[in-house]
Amino acid sequence: MEYYALLGLEKEPFSNSPDPSFFYYSPDYQECLQQLEISIRLRRGLNIILGNIGTGKTTISRILVNMFKQEKERFLFHLILDPSFRSEFQFLSCLIDTFGITAQVRSTIGYKEALQDYLFQKGVHEQKIVVLLVDEGQKLTSPYIEILRNLLNFETNEYKLLQLIILAQMEFVDVVADHKNFMDRVNVSYTIHPLTLEETKDLIQHRLQTAGLPPGKKLFDDESIQYIHLQTQGYPRKIIQFCHHALVMTLIHEKQVVDLAVVQAVQEKSIFSDDELTRFKKNLQGIYRSYSQMQSHLHSINKD
């Protein structure tokens, strides 16, 4: 049995895996996703999503793709996770591979022509909408920004042939400051902010309920949530990590609810390392197996 089952849960509530069912739609996230959806459907071109590390930009990109899964024949989503390249040719080569294009000529010019042909084929002749998401956008350098700008030039009288979404940390503003022709093409520019205290509470409760928290049961008291928000500054990634370790610490302290003492202990220990967590989970599983065997033995004795 996993550790979370000892707390009355069916799933791990604070896993780092991108399970869409655990996504908390804060007002900030909802507005951002709505604006992106409208921009994509209207084929408006360039969209930039900004936010500090841990605000949930990558998660938003996954949720956005999931929103269009019933229309995947028309909306063609492509993703570049890290635009760190050594040359312009390497960046173009990545775009060719990402779009699944077979270029006739393996050269910078050949790749640019192949990209143009692809966008016109998909966007005009097949009436499909090509969407490119670029994560870690702050790593884009001037030559790559210029390539993307040229791709955004491909359009009909009614719409852009490429829908580009760049998700980047705040320093991207400085990166593109000298690219006026690029910034002039921005349709949506949205900044993701950390969660408020109330939103932090809602996020924790949403993930616990999704994990199977029984109705009426409470696992975090108000003081612990206030402390978590203070220590994490409302950054979702930090909140999730902190809450995970808080639940583990609760079991160590043999408590039923995460309280102020528990979260302070988590902070003092600077969070468990992955190796320590693995060892602890194995110990918990061993304890539970021994407990189950003992219960089974007692049941057989009583039966006799």
Answer yes or no: do 176 and 140 share one domain.
Answer: yes
Asked if residues 220 and 204 have their Cβ atoms less than 8 Å apart, the reply is: yes
The reported pTM is: 0.84
CATH of the domain at 236: 1.10.8.60
Answer yes or no: do 169 and 233 share one domain.
Answer: no
With respect to residue 22, please indicate whether it lies within any of the assigned structural domains. no
- Both tokens of residue 115? 């990209």
Asked if residues 199 and 25 have their Cβ atoms less than 8 Å apart, the reply is: no
Mark out the alpha helices in the chain (DSSP H runs): 27-41, 57-67, 88-99, 108-120, 142-152, 172-175, 180-183, 197-210, 222-232, 236-252, 260-268, 274-303
pLDDT value of residue 5? 84
Boundary residue ending a domain (191, 209, 234)? 191
Answer yes or no: do 205 and 281 share one domain.
Answer: yes
CATH of the domain at 108: 3.40.50.300
With respect to residue 132, please indicate whether it lies within any of the assigned structural domains. yes
What's the number of domains the chain is made of?
A: 2
Answer yes or no: do 76 and 208 share one domain.
Answer: no
pLDDT band at 6 (very low <50, low <70, confident <90, very high): confident
pLDDT value of residue 253? 87
Q: Which of 100, 104, 126 is nearest to 113 (CA)?
A: 104
**Domain membership of residue 280 as a residue range:** 3-16+195-303
On the question of pLDDT at 111 being above 70, the answer is yes
Q: Which residue has the tokens 């949506």?
A: 188
Answer yes or no: do 187 and 46 share one domain.
Answer: yes
Boundary residue ending a domain (167, 191, 215)? 191
pLDDT band at 271 (very low <50, low <70, confident <90, very high): very low
The predicted-structure confidence for 117-135, as pLDDT tens digits, reads as follows: 999 999 999 999 999 999 9
The residue ranking higher by pLDDT, 294 or 6, is 6
Answer yes or no: do 112 and 99 share one domain.
Answer: yes
Q: Which of 265, 276, 47, 49 is nearest to 163 (CA)?
A: 47
**Rounded to whole angstroms, how far apart are CA atoms 169 and 138?**
6
